[in-house]
Amino acid sequence: MRRFGVSLPDELAQEVDKISQELGVTRSAVVAQAVSSFVHTYSQHLRDGHRCLGAVISLTEGVEAASRMMEEYKDLIANYSHMHIGDRCLSVFVVHGDGRRIGEFLMGLSERAARTLFTPLE
Ligand SMILES: [Zn+2]
Ligand SMILES: [Zn+2]
């Protein structure tokens, strides 16, 4: 077992606290479960040498940040749809290409979005 400090946005940290209380487990157990899930996806799909097909779903306050990312990663984006949920933007990207670049696209979006999900499809 290794210990290291991790910084989380306040809202996410509160959610981690809430889940750990509800499940009666430590904060570390909740974080370990979440990290394990990401690491599994990363090692299977978001890596060099794997040609991946997947979907990225992103909820943002505006579209500007996402559109800059789209320009940089347009070679990956096979399809894109955009809709409005209240005053927020929901973008759905079908991505196909190098797994490592999809990982970069995903992490870049998640820094700019309220919520970002990746689902590998193959
Ligand atoms: Zn894949
Ligand atoms: Zn929009």
pLDDT per position as a tens digit, 73-96: 999 999 999 999 998 999 999 999
Q: Are strands 77-85 and 51-60 parallel, antiparallel or unpaired?
A: unpaired
Q: Domain tally for the chain?
A: 2
- Asked, for residue 56, whether it belongs to a domain, the answer is yes
Share of the chain above pLDDT 70, in %: 98
Give the largest CA-CA distance in the chain: 45
Span from the CA of 10 to the centroid of ligand 1 (angstroms):
32
- Asked, for residue 116, whether it belongs to a domain, the answer is yes
Q: Which ligand gives the minimal distance to the CA of 43?
A: 1
- Asked, for residue 3, whether it belongs to a domain, the answer is no
Contact between residue 65 and residue 58 where contact means Cβ atoms under 8 Å apart: no
pTM for the full model?
0.84
In whole angstroms, how far apart are CA 90 and each of 40, 54, 122?
Answer: 26, 17, 23
The two structure tokens encoding residue 39:
């690491």
Span from the CA of 38 to the centroid of ligand 2 (angstroms):
27
Domain span holding position 29? 10-44
Same domain (yes/no): 78, 23:
no
The two structure tokens encoding residue 97:
């290409």
